[in-house]
């Protein structure tokens, strides 16, 4: 099977064995020799089951929104209050789904909570002031101070409700530990003693001889069995601890279709040092990082596609004279056939015809498909060299974007021959094809164009995918606009 046909599998293959693996694994025994089983969640009555299905994102943002809207009961600045509420809720949730911390404490969250609320209030107040409504600014800030106080009080109440639900094991997230060393054993013991974290460890996976965790929870297989373990136990949280496994393999197994929906938590290797990041949390005194899972579908990607279609259409109209002049210059220098079509690999390994303005004429189709283009090629004339250096030869790809074959920002597409070669040579190269190919990308605006290391490009492309956001796209587009003027192309 070719690499192109395996692109989807490379980005998330199921590595587990059959579902019988877990059933065939011998039940581990603890220090006393007794059979060890994970603590099962208690049996729930029907009302308790309904409560157990409630998640923090269903509760916290709505309560925040209602309390932020409270000035509508006594004030008249309806538009300002509505804008303040919408902006605050987005900022408090990090412009994504709200996730409750493991160690819940309003005092821990208070600095972030107040800073984001005050930032939203300042933004709305500035707009009111620019409209020369000085008295309205004072009134708005007074009402906002009241609503912020109510939000803090609401967070205290909601936090206590979530903690109570966890302590009574109404809210339980089944958790598989990755690693079975001493740290894994300690974490399993802490989570059994303190249900306030909301995690119930159902087992661990490990490849080597690190079995200290077996005295607390059962081993449910090796790293390759993680898919099976998640399906068998219904786990929705993966917690990476210490153990004998390859980090390279770990990257693959936690991104499979089965494991990707799970929350991914990681204990830093040097866990005795304090971590300073917005995603830091802790279990007992052990720091835990919540790893962002790439969001490759959903509303944000629908917005991205809409922006692509509208933006590419508008650019085609605005740049039509530029494209016409470039095409005419290419026709004069190189003869007929100014539009060059070349098969490229897109999302999930699908082939499409990538459009370019011809900057040189290859000897034949085989050379076009298998020869790496270099900047000093003697067949590239002055017009072709200018088009390449300014990236104007890629403007016809706006039509690929309108057709949905490409996107404005994403990994640059490559020819099938080189995808085969690079996938066999460079680590995680095929993982670039989890998303659509782009007109510009993070690697390109980072100076990785032309004759630059392929491995570096692949790492930059995968970094973009792992950290994708609409704002990251905006930053890359802004940096791209400078490229034609700086002429840092090929």
3-state helix, strand, coil in the chain (%, to 5): 55, 10, 35
Spatial distance between the Cα atoms of 185 and 194, rounded to a whole number of angstroms: 14
Burial of 417 (0-12, 13-18, 19+ CB in 10 A): middle
Q: Which residues contact 416 (CB under 8 A, 6 or more apart)?
A: 4, 343, 344, 345, 351, 369
Positive or negative, the Cα torsion across 157, 163, 164, 169? Answer: positive
Spatial distance between the Cα atoms of 344 and 348, rounded to a whole number of angstroms: 12
Mean pLDDT over 176-200 rounds to 92
Please check the confidence at residue 54 and state whether its pLDDT lies above 60. yes
pLDDT at 67: 93
Nearest 5°: phi and psi at 100? Answer: -70, 145
Sheet holding 280-283, edge to edge: 199-205, 173-178, 237-240, 263-266, 286-291, 280-283
Burial of 123 (0-12, 13-18, 19+ CB in 10 A): middle
Residue keyed to tokens 């980090």: 247
CB 97 within 8 A of CB 57: yes
Please check the confidence at residue 483 and state whether its pLDDT lies above 90. no
Please check the confidence at residue 151 and state whether its pLDDT lies above 50. yes
Domains and CATH numbers, the chain: 13-41+172-291 (3.40.50.20), 51-167 (no CATH), 299-486 (no CATH)
Please check the confidence at residue 434 and state whether its pLDDT lies above 80. yes
Cβ of 328: how many Cβ atoms within 10 Å? 12
CB 257 within 8 A of CB 283: no
pTM: 0.71
Average pLDDT taken over every residue of the chain:
81
Please check the confidence at residue 31 and state whether its pLDDT lies above 60. no
pLDDT digits (tens, 9 = 90+) for 200-235: 999 999 987 777 888 899 999 889 899 999 999 999
Between 189 and 372, whose confidence is greater? Answer: 189
pLDDT at 177: 94
Residue 12's pLDDT band (boundaries 50, 70, 90)? Answer: very low
Residue among 438, 445, 450, 447 at smallest CA distance from 481: 445
pLDDT at 98: 77
- The CA distances from residue 101 to 58, 85, 191, 420, in Å, are 15, 22, 14, 43
Spatial distance between the Cα atoms of 290 and 449, rounded to a whole number of angstroms: 33
Residue 103's pLDDT band (boundaries 50, 70, 90)? Answer: confident
- The CA distances from residue 442 to 66, 76, 462, 463, 468, in Å, are 40, 46, 9, 8, 10
Residue 2's pLDDT band (boundaries 50, 70, 90)? Answer: low
> b vs e for 428-450, b when ≥16 Cβ sit within 10 Å of the residue's Cβ?
bbbbbbbbbbbbbbbbbbbebbe
CB 409 within 8 A of CB 350: no
Spatial distance between the Cα atoms of 408 and 309, rounded to a whole number of angstroms: 9
Cα angle value 110/114/267 (rounded, 5°): 45
Q: Which residues contact 383 (CB under 8 A, 6 or more apart)?
A: 329, 330, 332, 333, 334, 359
* Residue 89 CA from chain centroid, whole number: 20
> b vs e for 6-22, b when ≥16 Cβ sit within 10 Å of the residue's Cβ?
ebbebbbebbbeeeebb
Please check the confidence at residue 16 and state whether its pLDDT lies above 60. no
Mean pLDDT over 448-453 rounds to 79
In total, the chain counts a number of residues equal to 490
Between 388 and 147, whose confidence is greater? Answer: 147
pLDDT digits (tens, 9 = 90+) for 285-328: 888 888 877 777 777 788 899 999 999 999 999 999 999 999 99
The distance between the two most distant Cα atoms of the chain, rounded to a whole number of Å, is 87
Spatial distance between the Cα atoms of 452 and 429, rounded to a whole number of angstroms: 15
Nearest 5°: phi and psi at 112? Answer: -65, -40
């Amino acid at each position: 099977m070719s690499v192109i046909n395996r692109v989807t599998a490379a980005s998330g293959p199921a590595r587990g064995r059959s579902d019988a693996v877990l059933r065939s694994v011998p039940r581990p025994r603890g220090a006393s020799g007794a059979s060890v089983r994970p603590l099962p969640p208690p049996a729930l009555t029907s009302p308790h089951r309904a409560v157990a299905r409630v998640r923090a994102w269903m509760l916290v943002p709505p309560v925040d929104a209602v309390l932020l809207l409270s000035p509508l009961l006594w004030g008249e600045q309806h538009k300002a209050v509505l804008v303040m509420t919408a902006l605050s809720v987005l900022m408090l949730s990090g412009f994504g789904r709200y996730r409750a911390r493991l160690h819940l404490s309003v005092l821990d969250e208070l600095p972030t909570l107040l800073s984001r609320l005050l930032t939203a209030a300042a933004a709305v107040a500035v707009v009111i002031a620019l409209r020369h409504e000085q008295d309205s600014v004072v009134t708005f800030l007074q009402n906002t101070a009241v609503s912020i106080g109510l939000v803090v009080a609401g967070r205290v109440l909601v936090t206590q409700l979530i903690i109570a639900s966890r302590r009574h094991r109404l809210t339980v997230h089944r958790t598989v530990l990755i690693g079975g060393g001493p740290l894994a054993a300690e974490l399993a013991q802490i989570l059994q003693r303190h249900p306030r974290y909301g995690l119930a460890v159902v087992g661990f996976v490990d490849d080597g001889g690190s079995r200290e965790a077996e005295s607390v929870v059962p081993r449910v297989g090796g790293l390759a069995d993680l898919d099976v373990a998640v399906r068998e136990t219904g786990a929705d949280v993966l917690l990476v601890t210490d153990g004998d496994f390859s980090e390279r393999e770990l990257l693959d197994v936690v991104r499979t279709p089965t494991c990707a929906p799970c929350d991914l938590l990681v204990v830093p290797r040097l866990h005795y040092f304090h971590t300073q990041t917005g995603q830091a949390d802790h279990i007992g005194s052990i720091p835990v990082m919540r790893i962002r899972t790439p969001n490759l579908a959903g509303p944000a990607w629908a917005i991205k596609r809409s922006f692509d279609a509208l933006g590419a259409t508008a650019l085609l109209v605005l740049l039509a004279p530029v494209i016409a002049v470039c095409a005419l210059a290419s026709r004069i220098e190189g003869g007929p056939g100014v539009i060059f079509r070349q098969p490229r690999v897109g999302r999930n390994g699908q082939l499409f015809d990538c459009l370019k303005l011809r900057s040189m004429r290859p000897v034949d189709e085989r050379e076009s498909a298998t020869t790496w283009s270099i900047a000093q090629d003697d067949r590239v004339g002055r017009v072709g060299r200018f088009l390449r250096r300014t990236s104007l030869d890629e403007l016809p790809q706006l039509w690929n974007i309108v057709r949905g074959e490409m996107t404005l920002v994403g990994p640059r597409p490559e020819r099938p021959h080189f995808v085969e070669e690079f996938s066999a040579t460079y680590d995680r190269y095929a993982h670039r094809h989890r998303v659509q190919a782009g007109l510009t990308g993070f690697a390109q605006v980072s100076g990785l164009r032309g004759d630059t290391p392929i491995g570096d490009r692949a790492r930059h492309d995968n970094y973009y995918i792992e950290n994708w956001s609409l704002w990251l796209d905006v930053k890359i587009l802004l940096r791209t606009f400078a490229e034609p003027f700086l002429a840092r192309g090929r």
